[in-house]
Amino acid sequence: MRTPFTGVGTALITPFTKGGGALDEVAVKRLARRQIDAGVHFLVPCGTTGESPTLTHREKLRVVELVVEEAAGKVPVMAGAGGYDTREAIELSRDMEKVGANGLLHVSPYYNKPTQEGQFQHFKAIADSTPLPIMLYSIQGRTGVNIDAATVLRLAEIPNIIGIKEASGSLVQMTDIVATAPENFLLLSGDDPITVPVMAIGGRGVISVASNEVPAEMVQLVELCEKGDFAAARKLQGWLLPLLTGNFVESNPAPCKAAMAAMGLCEDEVRLPLVSITPASRERVMSVLQKLKLLGAAARV
């Protein structure tokens, strides 16, 4: 039986207007509606795929407010509220609750590289500050620190820390967490290309970049895994693999936004220090879209 924040959660891009780079509020709602219509199970605005480090506090709240309005209770909304300043993360978490978020995604603090005890105290302080369910996010390649399995297990004892988006790259670590955490503690893949193996070891879904482009296909992939049809899931993931890996040919979300612009879904606009992808990378992205017959696909959804 599905519980909240299992299945496919889309790590929504944040659309900006052409040239000026202002928040495109119309596109925020349009993209959220496209996800809901495609059957995605929950939405994750203002994560790092949403370029959260370049959004102001007010912009983050506005994006979540718009997504909550569009979701209208049909699917839950898990708002990205992470950062490297615990006090600021607490303030943002409380404000996300006020604008209607149903849950929070908190990435491990980046740059300041806290110890495991520092990470535990950081997440505990946030959990103590809000009644909302919290999903941890471990991605050492972007933050410089791993949330070790032992730390995850300590945090799993806190009632409103409900799970972890796992992008450590270690299936051994993920298996350890699934095997030893409380039964209701969720582990989701944080890396599209390994969704199938993560679900095979007991993961409950994925927080996905690729579902920005192909929401229905990612839903189908995860639901096949949920049914235990891993042969069909492997076949579908093999077909999608060029897209799943192509989204990271340069720093996320620039390749994804380039693809979505080519599909007619948004402008190809990112905020500095990110820049649009190079011509060589764009050629690769376009080749993938052509191979998967995704050009013009937006009009069919």
141-191 pLDDT, tens digit per residue, is 889 999 999 999 999 999 999 999 999 999 999 999 999 999 999 999 999
Q: List Cα–Cα distances, 103 to 139, 169, 176, 199, in angstroms.
A: 19, 24, 25, 22
Domain that residue 203 falls in: 7-227
Please give the radius of gyration of the chain, using alpha carbons only, rounded to the nearest integer.
18
297: pLDDT confidence band, cut at 50, 70 and 90? low
Residue 184 domain-assigned (yes or no): yes
Continuous H helices in the chain: 25-37, 57-71, 86-98, 116-129, 140-143, 149-155, 171-180, 195-200, 215-226, 230-246, 254-262, 279-291
Residue 153 domain-assigned (yes or no): yes
On the question of pLDDT at 82 being above 90, the answer is: yes
Place of tokens 């909302």: 132
Residue 253 domain-assigned (yes or no): no
Say how many domains are in the chain: 1
CATH code, 121: 3.20.20.70
Residue 137 domain-assigned (yes or no): yes
Residue 198 domain-assigned (yes or no): yes
Residue 179 domain-assigned (yes or no): yes
Residue 60 domain-assigned (yes or no): yes
300: pLDDT confidence band, cut at 50, 70 and 90? very low
1: pLDDT confidence band, cut at 50, 70 and 90? low
Instruction: Report the catalytic residues.
Output: 137, 165
Residue 238 domain-assigned (yes or no): no
Q: List Cα–Cα distances, 169 to 94, 116, 138, 166, in angstroms.
A: 31, 18, 10, 8
